[in-house]
Every structure is written in C-alpha cells, then in structure tokens.
Amino acid sequence: MVEKSKVVNFISPDAKLGRNVKVWNFTYIGAGTIIGDNVKIGSLAHIDYDVRIGSGTMIEGSVYIPPMSRIGKNVFIGPAAVLTNDPYPPSGKMVGVTIQDDAVVGARAVIKAGVTVGRGSVVAMGAVVTKDIPPGKVVMGVPARVVYTRKEFDAKMKKWQLEG
C-alpha cells in the first residue's frame, strides 16, 4: 500500500495571487510578491520576496527568481533557470532582473542581476546573460550573444513543428 504524501508549499500570507494561479509541489513564494491571473508555477520553484509576475506567465520547475525581480505578461521561464540578485557577490546590495512581456527563457539559463530581457526576446537554454537584451532578439552562448531575431526563431519553431 502506498501512502499519499501531503503537498507542501510555502506561500507568504501577504503574497497576492491572481485568479486561476496554479502552484505545483514544494514551491516557495515570498512576502510582498504579486502574481497575475492564469500563471503556472512548477514544482520546486523559489520566487523570493517583492517579485511581480504578469498574467499568463509559465514558470517551470526548479526556477529561482530573486527579490525585486519583474516578470512581464505571457513570459515562459524554462526548468532550472536562475535569475541572480547580486552582480558582485557578496556585496549585500541586491537588485532584481526584469523580463519584459512575451519573452522566453530556456532551461538552465542564468541571468545576471540588474539585466533586462527585452520584450519578445528569447534566451536559449544554458545561456549566461550578462547584459541587457534588446527587444525581439534571440541570444545564446556563454556569454550570451545575439544570434538572430524573434521572427527568425518563430519561423524555425513553426518549421520544426510541421516536420513529420
């Protein structure tokens, strides 16, 4: 006989969650965080204090979002992505990351504190982002560099989806 385990999450009493927010197992949501409607947060995600997350965003499992980060609407953050909060650790001076609307952050990407990922941009899996990304660009590598546009990315994705 297998015993069902109790799902344990920590959601700060003063965090504000919008309508239809889904939070999976073993997730932490810190004080003062505000999450919009229709957001999905995967298992083992850690969303620290004073974070803002826009509606329609999907955050996969094992993601770390540091204090004071701002995540736009309809953003996708892949598994185990890490946003950092101290550009010169351990300086003790924290700053969040900004990810604008419609951006995509791939699995295991790392984004330096204070960086802005522009609207509609894509950060490839495993990329290390050390400076701002202009809107509508795709970056990859270590350190991340622009390789093409979001329009080219979307065309590649559509072609891949149509292949048999």
Residue 1 has pLDDT above 90, yes or no: no
For residues 37 and 71, give the distance between their C-alpha atoms in angstroms, rounded to a whole number.
Answer: 13
What is the CB neighbour count within 10 angstroms for residue 98?
A: 20
For residues 127 and 1, give the distance between their C-alpha atoms in angstroms, rounded to a whole number.
Answer: 44
SS3 for 12-51 is: CCCCEECCCCEECCCCEECCCCEECCCCEECCCCEECCCC
What residue has token string 């270590």? 142
CATH of 10-162, one of 1.10.10.10, 2.170.130.10, 3.40.630.30, 2.160.10.10: 2.160.10.10
Query: When comparing pLDDT for 65 and 8, which is higher?
Result: 65
Q: In the structure, what pLDDT confidence band is assigned to residue 107 with cuts at 50, 70 and 90?
A: very high
Residue-wise pLDDT tens digits, 48-84: 999 999 999 999 999 999 999 999 999 999 999 999 9
| Tokens of residue 87, six digits | 């550009």
